[in-house]
Amino acid sequence: MEPDPAWLPAAAFRAVGSRHTLVRGAGPLVDTVYRELAAACGRFGGSVARGTDGGPCDLVLELGDDADRLGDEGFTCRREDGRTTVSAAGGAGLLYGLFHVVRLGEDAFRGRRPRKTHVPALALRMLDHWDNVAVHPVMGQVERGYAGGSLFWADGRARGELERVRRYGRLLAACGINAVAVNNVNVHETEAHLLTDRIGEVADIAGALRPYGVRTHLSVTFAAPLVLGGLPTADPLDERVRAWWTEATARVYEAIPDFGGYVVKADSEGQPGPFAYGRSHADGANMLAAALAPHGGTVHWRAFVYDHRQDWRDRTTDRARAAYDHFAPLDGEFADNAVLQVKHGPMDFQVREPVSPLIGAMPRTRLAVELQATQEYTGQQRHVCWLGPMWSEVLRFRPDGVPVGGLADALVAVSNVGADPFWTGHPLAQANLYTFGRLAWQPDADPGGILDEWIRLTFGPEPAAGLRAVLEGSWRTYEKYTAPLGVGFMVQPGHHYGPSVDGYEYSPWGTYHFADRDGVGVDRSRATGTGFAGQYPKPWAELYESPETCPDELLLFFHHVSYGHTLHSGKTVIQHIYDTHFEGVEEVEAAREVWASLAGLVDPARHARVAERFEEQLRSAREWRDQVNSYFFRKSGVPDAHGRRIY
């Protein structure tokens, strides 16, 4: 089966493809622009010329605008005297300009448009693939992957479907993504070799992505000098180790001259790191940064460092504190080409978390904020869960005056894409990928506008209202029927799908809700709890400190309260739990009906795939509702005020 066209169906090119266009400038990405236009004109009867002189034309795409202002990726767009002009200083900018015109459709060729400048707010807009080369006995081909196999790898080898990879690069460019890390941050034995003897396979992928301005990055193991180099140590301050990395990195750049850099998960969930040698994470990151610097590369060093072998009896250790406690003291010690990659929340991609207090706490350190497009904890691409509003809240949050989107140098998402013909398993999960790219380009963009854009491109105008109804509130719906009020987890251990309220309660992972007969939640206050709330600057530290001022949706993240505690909404905690769980399921039922009504307006294969997933979502949502409600009814003994069925 041909892969789904996603947000680039042929019809999206009708407006440009039926016009007369002139392309001015040279370079590989300008060639891509030309090829895109030639293909569109072949289909819709327009024409495209290259060069300086041109007869009358409707659209000009030209290199030559102010490089200082636009950089390589920015562009301007204007329309006057019946002609639309896109100018850029670099080929990437021209390509983004072309996709901008595609998004505008016929509007690009109507009336007058004053000149407008478009420059990405974040220089790096990246997807991290958690793809394994060899199938992992527990995690499979793609760790936390819900879209079939890997686009890049299969059963220990390069998959070799470079045309598919090229199409992927094209979709990414059309929503503004410019970097991809091609393997899992948990680097197992086979994958370690991508850095050295298997770099050619990475180079092939890089070659397929390059025409769309997407640079390739690699996850590497900190122990590479030991496991690949035969050295007795991986100590980042050892000269032999440093020389090994310098050499290995030089060879990477011979194979991939525009290689982006390394991604590293160190001292985290069993991965090796500098702690084994008594060195700091800055020592570790800086060693790799030094090897990359002569080539213009960057190391993305992940801050996801915590004790995953915690004793649940130990109430002093709080996983939420870990990233800040480990990294905030290192501010100012990281090299210029080292970027600290911080998960957006302090725990782990739950449906609701506060923004990580580490974000904003290291003003002298470059920052990448990591989101999770793959829906590990948000329905695993069997449930509709459009994450745009959540991500937008994160990016607009102001730790200390400046919004997160303005503090970050890079925005990264764990990819939700695989070898599935719909790319993302659930066809509607494509919206998350698209929204991520567009928010990374403009973090203060209205997510609803992005959703509409995605719907219009992907589905055309007819089913738009229905799609909006299905997607718009889907994150809040998911939140309603799963773990309440920011408490998190309550998922089945291991695979993390479906409810198990106590699944992680007595585990070593540091993820507890502490429900008893009187109440529920984690006391993270300074006064009586773990002190986590004190990691925030004002006003947040104070706001979160007290259950009276803490926002309802985060109450159980920060506080242990009684079931009778009254929320700002006026409801008690226990009644809130019952109400939201009944509502959540009702909302899924309603969305499923809306989807059913779109049959005939949506491509049949897509319609069938989503319809099938809705059956599973509804089954699962009911299971969540009944387990969570029964659990809290049995703990608390408090009946539902409305007498609904609880087991």
By annotation, the residues acting in catalysis are 269, 348, 376
Question: What CA–CA distance (Å, rounded) separates 322 from 305?
Answer: 7
Contacts of 269 (CB under 8 A, 6+ apart): 186, 304, 308
CB of 304 to ligand GCW, least distance (A): 5
| 191 part of the interface to ligand GCW, by CB under 6 A | no
Token pair recorded at residue 142: 């793609």
Q: Which residue is nearest to ligand GCW (CB)?
A: 348
| 79 part of the interface to ligand GCW, by CB under 6 A | no
| 185 part of the interface to ligand GCW, by CB under 6 A | yes
Q: Which amino acid is at 363?
A: P
CB of 235 to ligand GCW, least distance (A): 23
Question: What CA–CA distance (Å, rounded) separates 607 from 618?
Answer: 16
Minimal CA–CA distance to 425: which of 377, 386, 372, 383? 383
- Number of helices (H), then strands (E), belonging to the chain: the values are 21, 20
In sequence order, what DSSP letters do the residues of 101-150 get, joined into one string? HHHHGGGGGSS-EEEEEE--SSSEEEEE--EEEEEETTTEEETT--SSS-
CB of 378 to ligand GCW, least distance (A): 12
Based on CB atoms, which residue is closest to ligand GCW, 350 or 629? 350
> Strands, DSSP E only, in 206-337?
215-219, 261-264, 298-302
Subset of 94-133 contacting ligand GCW (CB under 6 A): 130
Based on CB atoms, which residue is closest to ligand GCW, 61 or 187? 187
Query: Biggest alpha carbon distance in the chain?
Result: 81
Radius of gyration for the alpha carbons in the chain, expressed in angstroms and rounded: 25
Based on CB atoms, which residue is closest to ligand GCW, 136 or 635? 136
Based on CB atoms, which residue is closest to ligand GCW, 152 or 304? 304
Question: What CA–CA distance (Å, rounded) separates 313 from 284?
Answer: 32
Based on CB atoms, which residue is closest to ligand GCW, 140 or 639? 140
CB of 595 to ligand GCW, least distance (A): 29
Torsion angle (degrees, nearest 10) of CA 162, 164, 170, 173: -80
Contacts of 594 (CB under 8 A, 6+ apart): 466, 469, 470
| 319 part of the interface to ligand GCW, by CB under 6 A | no
> Binding residue for ligand GCW (CB under 6 A) from 265, 344, 352, 524?
265
Based on CB atoms, which residue is closest to ligand GCW, 304 or 532? 304
| 143 part of the interface to ligand GCW, by CB under 6 A | yes
Based on CB atoms, which residue is closest to ligand GCW, 260 or 488? 488
Sort residue 486 into left (φ over 0), alpha (ψ -120 to 50) or beta. left
Question: What CA–CA distance (Å, rounded) separates 308 from 314?
Answer: 13
CB atoms within 10 A of CB 45: 11
CB of 335 to ligand GCW, least distance (A): 22
CB of 136 to ligand GCW, least distance (A): 10
Cis peptide before 539 (omega within 30 of 0): yes
CB-CB contact of 294 with 332 (8 Å): no
| 304 part of the interface to ligand GCW, by CB under 6 A | yes
Distances (CA, A) of 137 to 259, 272, 461: 30, 20, 45
Q: Give the total of residues touching ligand GCW (CB under 6 A).
A: 11
CB of 488 to ligand GCW, least distance (A): 12
CB of 301 to ligand GCW, least distance (A): 13
Subset of 341-380 contacting ligand GCW (CB under 6 A): 348-349, 376
Strand partners, 99: none
Based on CB atoms, which residue is closest to ligand GCW, 93 or 274? 274
| 144 part of the interface to ligand GCW, by CB under 6 A | yes
Token pair recorded at residue 641: 């005020």
Question: What CA–CA distance (Å, rounded) separates 509 from 268?
Answer: 12
CB-CB contact of 237 with 278 (8 Å): no
CB of 370 to ligand GCW, least distance (A): 8
Sort residue 401 into left (φ over 0), alpha (ψ -120 to 50) or beta. left
Based on CB atoms, which residue is closest to ligand GCW, 163 or 269? 269
- Provide the binding-site residues for ligand GCW, judged by CB under 6 A: 130, 143-144, 185-186, 265, 269, 304, 348-349, 376
